Structure 1
């Protein structure tokens, strides 16, 4: 199950505009990944539910226009983040905190899209999930539109509607099952983490 989870995540992680590579920031901001990890770790130790929340944020960002950070753009009531399908998505404050810390050390270097991907990876690892490498180098999206998020899977969708939305993104029925079950798995891993912390 863990291997399938990582395969599905890398499918989304690879979706972006830009030259992706492991260690993309090794020269321009060498501590970028460890800084994101530290922010995520502190956030999850304060609220273990954030592991699932950050993974969900990453999924919602990637499903609309690729992993471009566009869900983070707040440009009024017509912003992508206000779409019906994005209701309940959170974790924005963790990404903003990581971005602020990175900007203080490496201004204008690390994209928000990469921060979202790294935060999801670190959240999964901190919830005792699989550890995997994340290629970085994504470019941030410049457009955030409510209408672009119209095809986001919704809880009220029938299985046929969900399949159609996943197929449009090049995903399979198996991907639908895995991604749907991922939240449940991460919530149980978060519960395990709560028990360990206490």
Structure 2
């Protein structure tokens, strides 16, 4: 037996004995909206991950009947690996935290006046680094001239720019991807006078 095969077997046995939890991108049809593995095992189990690797792609049919959407394989089991449209459709809902806000707080904005950048941070009096990364998913329309930018130093996103159109309580929802497979969700309304 080859040395690498022995190491692989030992690694798998260690995982089985100690129930190592992991999150990696498993594929856009590896879980249901209920976060059940498409092979019926819990999404967070490394055993399920190993079993899913053996599952044939043909058994993951995305054309299933819409009536049983909660049971369809439409999500990636690792929440942060889902597309924005999948997240807004309910994928990863078990991993969404809502304890974030803007610092300073978002107030009505003035037309054609640059805003002081608003940082996404945890609620409360903290400067804790959120560990956000990658794509920021935005549902809703920001007024023209405003945008989100990534701040690599603080590992978060900031709302910045100069609003060039009026807006009246435009609802916006953002979902940010964080380390450990966690998602951060922020709902807010933008008013430009």
- Which structure is higher in RCO with an 8 Å CA cutoff and minimum separation 6? 1
TM bin (shorter chain) = under 0.3
> TM-score normalized by structure 1?
0.22
Please identify which structure carries the higher helix content.
Answer: 1
Select the structure of larger CA radius of gyration: 2
Report the TM-score when normalising by structure 2. 0.22
